[in-house]
Every structure is written in structure tokens, then in C-alpha cells.
Amino acid sequence: MREEELKRWMRLGLGPKKYSNKTIKKTITYLKFLERRLSVDLDKVTLEELADILADVEDAGVAVKTINNWIKYLNRYLLFRGIDKLKYRPQWENPDVFFYVPTDKDREKILSVRWSRPEIHWRNHCILLVLFDTGIRIDELVHLNWQDIDRSPEGVPIIHIRHGKGAKQRVVPIHPKVLDELYKYRKYYRIDSDPNAIFTTINGRLDYNYARNLVKEAGKKAGVPQFHAHAARHWRAISWLKQGINLETIRRFLGHANIKSTAVYVRWMEMQDSFSEIVKKDKTFGGWAHKGPEYINKKGGDE
């Protein structure tokens, strides 16, 4: 980020207006935070890439009010760069219960995707396995090292997450079958460009944007275009809930600071149950088997 140029631009009113020193300082602080939080270079990221990243963040459960606050500061920098503004998100009640959660069938399709080169296929397949199995964030995944694989005192295979959100560390369980696939990948297919990193390219450790894009590519190949990395985390949380796993246990392994963040999955399940009850019991117009007019798209809105 071109900090000094931005300060001058804001101070002299070279943009839409002159800003106070307090506003300039707050803007710089926020933009530095957003570069870290969103893993972007504000001098290089495009408007389309930023919009895509914010869409993922919103689907990950960040409040619309928070995202709109971020957009306010991001738009100042975009305007400084001479780029169009990001659009603010419409705010409405309870948007969190409508995020996308892959079905078990979606998961099977995604894990069945193949890439032509064996080393690429096994790396990408293991990335998808780890995301679905552990529910870790994509940024946490790319920072994983082989030394992070361990066992709990009870002998359960675990992974140390040393680069969690907010610089917090935790451990998460990893299924032995997934661990076996990781070691198979390491022995036969891994590109040895970084001695420590689990997931690599020919240039070294896999980076955030590369990993994020390959996960989206897997969704498209599987015929599940709405799939993204955080959706695997949603699937893991819902799957644990359906199996009766305690909410506090889920909070701990997902790395949520507050159990209110985890409780969104309970509300999601309650909403699905509410819709199912209506479909099952409401016979006012003769049942719900009819799929509706052709002009209603898959997301439920007009084309």
C-alpha cells in the first residue's frame, strides 16, 4: 500500500474532499488491517477480485454491517487508484441463516474431481479432504507444516494450527484415513520445493489466492459452482451437529472466539427444519411438489 501517497491525496483533497488527520490515520490503520485480514495487496488487487473475496467473507459469516464498514475504507483506496467503487451490501434481518452448505452429495462430487497431472491431483484432493475433515480456514491450511502433525495424549491424530484467525493457535483432530492420504501424497506426489510446507507448488508454499482458486475450480469441475473453501467449513460444522457433537466442542475446533459465532449453525439447521415442516404439513394449495415457474432461478430470485 502506498501509504505516504495516500496520506497526501487525502490531506490535500486531491480526491473528493479534504480529510482530517484523525480520519487519515484511521483509514491507514484500517487498510493495513484489511490487507492482512483479506490477504490482498491493495496496489495490485482488482475490483473483481476484491468483490469475490468479500463475497466469500460474507458467506463465511462476517456481518453485513462489518463488511460495509470495510467497503467504506477500501473504496477510499480504490478511488485513490482511480478504480470504480465496491457496492455496499443490502442489510436485512437474519441473513446468516441462508449461507450455502454443501450437501453430502455435493461433497462426494467434489471429492471425486480429478486433475490430469498426478502430483496436482493428489495435492488438490488432499487439500479438499483436509478442508472437509477438519473445518479449518483456507489461510490456516496454506500455513500448515509437516511438523504440525501430532498426536494427542489419547493417541488421536491432530494438527496444530499455528496461524489461526487473530494470531490464535489451536489443535484440531484429523481422521486417520485423511492422514494416510496426506502421507501417500508426501511420499509419491508432493513437489519438494519447500521442506516444511505440506502443500506446495514448483515455487514453494501454496499461497492463499492459489489455494482459494483451485478449490473453486474443483466446485466448477464437480458441477457445484457455488462451492468455495469456507463452504467445506460449513459442511463440517453442520455434519458434527447432526452427529450430536457438543456445540462447545465444535466452537473449539473451528477456532471461534465466541460461541455465538458457532450458534449460527444451530440457527441454520432450525431454519431448514422450519422449511421442511412447512413443505410436509402445509396442504393449503395441494402440497409443495410443484417446483415453480421456470423464470425462478436456482438462487430463488428472478433472472
Active-site residue set: 137, 165, 230, 233, 256, 265
Phi/psi-derived region of residue 99, left when phi > 0, alpha when psi is between -120 and 50, beta in every other case: beta
Please classify residue 92 by burial: count the beta carbons closer than 10 Å to its beta carbon, then call 0-12 exposed, 13-18 middle and 19+ buried.
exposed
CA–CA dist 208, 102 (Å, integer): 22
CA–CA dist 190, 194 (Å, integer): 10
Q: Specify whether the CB–CB gap between 173 and 158 falls below 8 A.
A: yes
Among residues 85, 90, 86, 39, which one has the least CA distance to residue 64? 90
SS3 (DSSP) at 220: helix
Q: Specify whether the CB–CB gap between 97 and 264 falls below 8 A.
A: yes
Strands 204-205 and 149-151: unpaired
Q: Specify whether the CB–CB gap between 158 and 174 falls below 8 A.
A: yes
Measure Cα distances from 301 to 224, 294, 295 in Å.
Answer: 18, 11, 8
